[in-house]
Amino acid sequence: MSRRAATLTLTSVLVLIFALVGSFMPVPYVALMPGPTSNTLGTNDKGQPLVKIDGREVYPATGHLNFTTVTYRGGPGARIDLFTALRGWVDDDVAIVPEETIFPKNESQQQVDEENTRQMRDSQQNAEAAALNHLKVPISIQVLVDSVQKGKPADGKIKPGDEIIAVDATKVTSVAQVTELMAKRKIGNPVTVTLKRGGAEQKVSLTTAASPDGKRPVVGVVLGDQYKFPFKVDISVGDIGGPSAGLMFSLAIVDKLTPGALTGGKFIAGTGTITPEGKVGPIGGIQQKMIAARHAGATVFLTPADNCTDAVAARPDGLRLVRADTLDSAIKSLESLNAGKNDLPACPGS
């Protein structure tokens, strides 16, 4: 063998080795895949109703109102390799996204999981509030302390679980109202917070400090709106996080609290966040969620308006997209489907 041929052979072997080694090197990407889909009108894997209502008359519900999920591979400490990423890029069922899309920088996987759990909890509460608002059932709101930041003015004076009743002399009934009142103060201003703890009211005097960006006055508490409902709703979905099932939870609650089947016996799936006022918001992973829904047997998919463009581009065959702007509009669409009408709000181009 000539020296030139030997050099080419060695070079080719080295290139192949480097390519093989490189294909197994971890890369900062995450693979998103279709996840489980569950019927909010049915039971979980323990045989318990996903949505259980106590203290109020409920009605039989048939058909499916499935919420959809996305599973992922990768993330800090468990990155996928280049070969897996390349394979995902050519798989229509998989989306390969930058790692920071799922795991923001400076946040651990535990922190992300905890945030997803909090979002699921909040989405369930918002879903119940939206359903009861739709049904004109009166509800009230409490402003509760979720956590207190160490080293901030409230540390040692306010505790998680405290109910905030007033800021100075102004009574408050929502987190938004507290935020608005605090924004009117300057860093270093005194503020008196009236709270309820263990059924007793007390006043706490604080001095505002600067937010991490130095632009806003804060006292170092994380607040959440806690709704007081006239009856009990339990939503049991197991180890699933995030806010995207809100719309489907609301629909299930409305269906169980009203006579007749909202689905008309059809297999409906969907996704979307929900506000207590019933506004439907966008979610991530729309492509994978539609695939999961279609594989499960869904023929109609309720789609947030802001996800319509991506949904139309990736719609599986046999799945009809119905645009859901609000809980009210989604219910009207399902009622129209039951009546055999076809003039439903649709995603443009679907």
Q: Which helix (H) or strand (E) holds 91?
A: none
- Residues 61 and 143: their CA atoms lie apart, in Å, by 34
- Residues 92 and 97: their CA atoms lie apart, in Å, by 14
Identity of residue 263: T
- Residues 306 and 147: their CA atoms lie apart, in Å, by 32
- Residues 38 and 231: their CA atoms lie apart, in Å, by 24
Identity of residue 63: G
Q: Which helix (H) or strand (E) holds 17?
A: helix 3-23
Q: For residue 297, which phi and psi values (nearest 5 degrees)?
A: 120, 5
- Which residues are marked as active site? 244, 289
Comparing CA positions, the residue from 71, 58, 91 lying closest to residue 30 is 71
Task: For residue 162, give the DSSP letter.
Answer: P
Q: For residue 197, which phi and psi values (nearest 5 degrees)?
A: -135, 125
- Residues 128 and 238: their CA atoms lie apart, in Å, by 18
Contacts (Cβ under 8 Å, ≥6 apart) of 205? 190, 191, 192
Q: Is-contact 260 293, C-beta < 8 A?
A: no
Comparing CA positions, the residue from 328, 344, 298 lying closest to residue 66 is 298
- Residues 145 and 277: their CA atoms lie apart, in Å, by 22
Comparing CA positions, the residue from 235, 129, 225, 209 lying closest to residue 177 is 225
Which pair of structure tokens corresponds to residue 188? 């270093």
Comparing CA positions, the residue from 303, 312, 285 lying closest to residue 345 is 303
